[in-house]
A and B are shown apart, each in its own frame.
Chain A
Amino acid sequence: MDLKDLTDQVAPGGPATDADALFDQLEADLAREQGLRARLRSLPAPVRTALLLLGAFGVVALVALVRPRMDLDHYPMGRLLLFAVLIGGLTAFVVPLLSRGPHQAPPRTGPWALGLSLAVPVALAVLPAAHTAGHDLTLPFALSALACFAFGTVTGLPALLLAWLVERQDPQPIARALLAAATAGLVGNMALQAHCPITTPLHLLVSHAVIGAVLVALVWLRRR
Chain B
Amino acid sequence: MAPQPSDEDLFAAYVAGDRDAFRQLFDRYSGPLTRLMRQQIRNPQDAGELVQQTFLQLHRARRDFRQGARLKPWLYTIALNLRRGWFRTRGRRPETPLDPARHPLPTVDPVDLTRGEDAQRVRTALEGLTATQREVIELHWFEELSFPEVAQVLGANVNTVKVRAHRGYKVLRAALADDDGQISGRTAEGSWT
Q: Which residues of A contact B (CB under 8 A)?
A: 1-7, 9-19, 22-23, 25-26, 29-30, 33, 41-45, 101-108, 168-169, 171, 173-174
With A1-B118, A5-B185, A16-B30 already in contact, the answer to whether A11 and B57 are too (CB < 8 A) is: no
Decide if the interface of chain A is mainly helix, strand, loop or mixed. Answer: loop
Q: Can you list 17 pairs linking A and B with CB atoms under 8 Å apart?
A: A1-B176, A2-B183, A3-B184, A3-B185, A3-B187, A4-B186, A5-B185, A9-B108, A9-B119, A12-B106, A14-B107, A15-B31, A22-B48, A22-B51, A44-B64, A102-B78, A106-B155
Q: Which residues of B contact A (CB under 8 A)?
A: 23, 26-27, 30-35, 38-39, 44, 48, 51-52, 55-64, 74, 77-78, 81-82, 84-85, 88-89, 105-108, 111, 115-116, 118-119, 122-123, 126, 141-142, 152-156, 172, 176-178, 182-187
Q: Is the CB of B106 within 8 A of A44?
A: no
Q: Is the CB of A168 within 8 A of B61?
A: yes
User: How many angstroms between the C-alpha atoms of A14 and B176 in the bound complex?
Assistant: 24
Closest to A38 in B: B60
Q: Is the CB of A19 within 8 A of B57?
A: no
User: How many angstroms between the C-alpha atoms of A173 and B84 in the bound complex?
Assistant: 11
Q: Which residues on the B side are within 8 Å of A103 (C-beta)?
A: 57-58, 61, 64, 74, 77-78, 81
Min CB gap A153→B, angstroms = 27
Q: Is the CB of A102 within 8 A of B27?
A: no
User: How many angstroms between the C-alpha atoms of A196 and B191 in the bound complex?
Assistant: 62
B107 contact from A17, A23, A42, A44, Cβ within 8 A: A17
A16 contact from B48, B116, B176, B177, Cβ within 8 A: B48
Q: Is the CB of B186 within 8 A of A16?
A: no
Q: Is the CB of B106 within 8 A of A17?
A: yes
Closest to A102 in B: B81
B35 contact from A4, A12, A23, A45, Cβ within 8 A: A12
